[in-house]
Amino acid sequence: MNSSERFASIDELDSESKYLIHKAKEATQHSYAPYSRFHVGAAVILDDNTLILGSNQENAAYPLCMCAERVALYSLGHLFPEKKIIKIAVVAHKKSSKDLTPAAPCGACRQVLVEYEHRQQAKIQIVFMTDNMVWMKYPDAEMLLPGSFGNVHLLS
Ligand SMILES: [Zn+2]
Per-residue pLDDT tens, the chain, 156 aa: give them. Answer: 789 999 999 999 999 999 999 999 999 999 999 999 999 999 999 999 999 999 999 999 999 999 999 999 999 999 999 999 999 999 999 999 989 999 999 999 999 999 999 999 999 999 999 999 999 999 999 999 999 999 889 987
Phi first, then psi, for residue 83 (nearest 5°) are: -90, 155
C-alpha to C-alpha distance for 6 and 14, rounded to whole angstroms: 12
Neighbours of ion ligand 1 (CB under 5 A): 67, 106, 109
- pLDDT for 152: 87
What does the pLDDT read at residue 138?
Answer: 98
Instruction: Give the residue among 59, 146, 62, 145 at the shortest CA–CA distance from 109.
Output: 145
Catalytic residue selected from 69, 82, 117, 142: 69
Q: Are 21 and 11 in contact (CB under 8 A)?
A: no
How many angstroms separate the alpha carbon of residue 105 from the centre of ligand 1?
5
What is the end-to-end Cα distance of the chain in Å, rounded?
32
Residues forming beta bridges with residue 33, ordered by sequence position? none
Confidence (pTM)? 0.96
